[in-house]
């Protein structure tokens, strides 16, 4: 027999979990179930990124990326206090080795247009100091950019959601989906069984699988492709205390191979940008040489022999029927796809981690 619930969320990455947490907090009487096909939450993009809380400086003004990055950043700071989630606002340099680099100035102007707080050009004294480690002529510094302990965030959000009566089923994969009598009938498989959940509302927060899942509802007006990003460990550790980014690609498909910091203070380099057909997290040693070209053009004192494979993540890229790339996040309601009570998050690439609390508000406000 079907189990009946009010809301079923597919996907236990940060977007699905944040939606679950906020729904239960704002509408405590609703029965909310989240299913995740992996054994652990956050095993895909959410656990395979730079863990950077972005300030919102890159994105087209008033795009969803801009609006939700700024609001999401603000909300993470409150959540960090409320749930005791570690955040380190270490700050970030964006550097160039050109003098009077118009690309750097464009970024600075974009940041100002986006109302990004605490961003400034780095003075010449500081540039001289940075020259010890970097090929640098100019830089801007974003004081509000930092890192978040996403593993801890997932744990705390999950705990609160479950304490509020929400249900999370890990190792449960949605394998089929249909609409009958205005209800979503979702077939779910775990190791031993197949079960059916009937829900009034369905939320597709399945990240890399989101386009495939909407096809089960006969929505085939969008396609997707993937772009892999590799990360490298570096030893001995250069001990950079701040995030260091190059000028990004012009179309912002990639923010560029940067140095990140984790909560143990270790640096790593990444992510690269490489189109791929499948969700395959294997890494090839050949990427070290490719990435070294970019790393060694910005970072001094880094030898190729200091680099080794760490992990990789995959970005979901959405295209429309004409093959045009959708550059912004997509949040669709029935207004777009004409299916009542179905909500979908598509193309949630960077800065999706930062934006997640605010993206979840979109769902809560629309229900």
Ligand X SMILES: Cc1cc2nc3c(=O)[nH]c(=O)nc-3n(C[C@H](O)[C@H](O)[C@H](O)COP(=O)(O)OP(=O)(O)OC[C@H]3O[C@@H](n4cnc5c(N)ncnc54)[C@H](O)[C@@H]3O)c2cc1C
The C-alpha atoms of residue 146 and residue 180 are separated, in whole angstroms, by 46
Residue 54 near residue 350, CB atoms below 8 Å = yes
Half-sphere exposure of 145 (CA within 13 A, CB side): 27
Among 7, 33, 154, 205, binds ligand X (CB under 6 A): 205
- The closest of 241, 237, 276, 272 to 257, measured between CA atoms, is 272
The C-alpha atoms of residue 7 and residue 201 are separated, in whole angstroms, by 5
List, in sequence order, every residue forming a beta bridge with 276; answer none if it has no partner: 226
Pick the closer one to ligand X by CB: 130 or 205. 205
Pick the closer one to ligand X by CB: 129 or 175. 175
Count of residues in contact with ligand X, rule CB under 6 A: 42
| 54 in contact with ligand X (CB under 6 A) | yes
Pick the closer one to ligand X by CB: 246 or 351. 351
The C-alpha atoms of residue 7 and residue 30 are separated, in whole angstroms, by 7
Phi and psi angles of residue 179, each rounded to the nearest 5 degrees, phi first: -115, 125
> Near ligand X by CB under 6 A, which window of 117-125, 204-212, 290-298, 300-308?
204-212
Pick the closer one to ligand X by CB: 246 or 352. 352
| 49 in contact with ligand X (CB under 6 A) | yes
Q: Nearest approach, Cβ of 97 to ligand X (angstroms)? A: 23
What does the per-residue mask of binding to ligand X show for 234-273, with x meaning CB under 6 A? -------------------------------------x--
58: buried, middle or exposed (CB in 10 Å: 19+, 13-18, 0-12)?
buried
The C-alpha atoms of residue 45 and residue 42 are separated, in whole angstroms, by 7
Pick the closer one to ligand X by CB: 38 or 137. 38
| 354 in contact with ligand X (CB under 6 A) | yes
> Near ligand X by CB under 6 A, which window of 37-45, 102-110, 192-200, 284-292?
37-45
| 56 in contact with ligand X (CB under 6 A) | no
How close are the terminal C-alpha atoms of the chain, in Å?
Answer: 27
Pick the closer one to ligand X by CB: 138 or 229. 229
| 294 in contact with ligand X (CB under 6 A) | no
Among 7, 23, 24, 50, binds ligand X (CB under 6 A): 50
Taking residue 241's Cβ as centre, other Cβ atoms within 10 Å add up to 10
Q: Nearest approach, Cβ of 103 to ligand X (angstroms)? A: 21
The Cα-based distances of 18 to 61, 218, 283, 349 in angstroms read 25, 27, 30, 16
Interface residues with ligand X (CB under 6 A) are: 10-16, 35-38, 42-46, 48-52, 54, 173-174, 205-209, 229, 271, 313-315, 345, 348-354
């Amino acid at each position: 027999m079907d189990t009946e619930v009010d809301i079923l969320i597919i996907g236990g990455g940060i977007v699905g979990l944040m939606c679950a947490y906020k729904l239960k907090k704002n509408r405590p009487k609703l029965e909310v179930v989240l299913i995740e096909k992996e054994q652990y939450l956050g095993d895909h993009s959410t656990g395979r990124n730079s863990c950077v809380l972005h300030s919102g400086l890159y994105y087209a003004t008033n795009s969803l990326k801009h609006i939700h990055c700024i609001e999401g950043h603000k909300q993470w700071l409150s959540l960090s206090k409320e749930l005791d989630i570690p955040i380190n606002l270490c700050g970030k340099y964006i550097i160039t080795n050109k003098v009077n680099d118009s690309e750097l100035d464009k970024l600075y102007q974009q940041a100002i247009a986006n109302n990004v707080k605490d961003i400034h050009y780095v003075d010449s004294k500081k540039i001289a100091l940075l020259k010890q480690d970097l090929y640098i002529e100019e830089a801007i510094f974003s004081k509000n950019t930092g890192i978040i302990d996403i593993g801890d965030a997932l744990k705390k959000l999950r705990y609160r959601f479950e304490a509020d009566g929400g249900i999370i089923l890990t190792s449960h994969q949605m394998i089929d989906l249909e609409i009958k009598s205005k209800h979503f009938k979702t077939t779910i498989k775990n190791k031993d069984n197949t079960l059916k959940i009937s829900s009034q509302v369905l939320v597709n927060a399945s990240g890399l699988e989101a386009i495939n899942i909407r096809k089960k509802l006969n929505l085939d007006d969008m396609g997707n492709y993937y772009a892999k990003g590799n990360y490298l460990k570096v030893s001995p550790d250069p001990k950079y205390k701040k995030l260091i980014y190059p000028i990004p690609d012009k179309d912002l498909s990639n923010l560029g191979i940067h140095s990140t910091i984790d909560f143990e203070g270790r640096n790593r380099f990444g992510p690269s940008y490489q189109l791929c057909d499948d969700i395959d997290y294997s890494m090839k040693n050949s990427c070290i040489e490719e990435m070294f070209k970019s790393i060694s053009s910005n970072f001094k004192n880094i030898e190729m022999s200091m680099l080794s494979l760490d992990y990789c993540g995959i970005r979901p890229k959405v295209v429309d029927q004409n093959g045009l790339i959708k550059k912004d996040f997509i949040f669709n309601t029935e207004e777009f796809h004409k299916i009542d009570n179905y909500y979908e998050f598509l193309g949630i690439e960077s800065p999706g981690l930062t934006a997640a609390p605010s993206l979840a508000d979109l769902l809560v406000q629309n229900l």
